[in-house]
Amino acid sequence: MAYWLLKSEPDDWSWDQQQARGKAGEDWSGVRNYQARNNLRAMKVGDRGFFYHSGAGKEIVGIVEVSAPAQPDPTDKTGQWLSVKVRAVRDIPSPVSMPDIKSNSRLKNMVLVRNSRLSVQPVSPDEWRIICEMGGLDSTARSS
């Protein structure tokens, strides 16, 4: 299973809204960046992702699961962009903020630190585990 990080402005699409969609999930649409599109294409159903609030917030607030693979973005008329579907899995008990991440030397190579503008990012297994621990999820909670 691969790990990802999805960024959203809470004013645009918030974690509360994502959670409210429940198991039905929501299209992760509107991505218009090639690198981000390539990451969407690489996602498999069952992959996990951090839900990160950019702008107001700047913190990882939840975990989502890819529930449908990449398909043409319904909001794109040109047919060249992709979206996946994600559903909320759980919140992070103690949201992990950008300063938290930047102050952890083990996370200094995170894409979020190196290229904060990329809206769909890969996360390494180590980074995933470290952030889950920082967020207050024990290994039992993480594996379910």
Any contact of residue 11 with DNA (CB under 7 A)? no
Any contact of residue 115 with DNA (CB under 7 A)? yes
Any contact of residue 99 with DNA (CB under 7 A)? yes
Any contact of residue 80 with DNA (CB under 7 A)? no
Any contact of residue 33 with DNA (CB under 7 A)? yes
Candidates 16, 38, 72, 102: give the one binding DNA (CB under 7 A): 102
Candidates 34, 93, 126, 138: give the one binding DNA (CB under 7 A): 34
Give the number of residues in contact with DNA, rule: CB under 7 A. 17
Burial of 143 (0-12, 13-18, 19+ CB in 10 A): exposed
Q: Please report how close the Cβ of residue 115 comes to DNA at its closest, in angstroms.
A: 5
Instruction: Return the half-sphere exposure (C-beta side, CA atoms, 13 A cut-off) of residue 83.
Output: 16
Helix (H) or strand (E) holding 99: helix 98-102
Spatial CB neighbours of 9, under 8 Å, sequence gap ≥ 6: 53, 54, 55, 56
* CA–CA separation, 2 and 9 (whole Å): 23
Any contact of residue 72 with DNA (CB under 7 A)? no
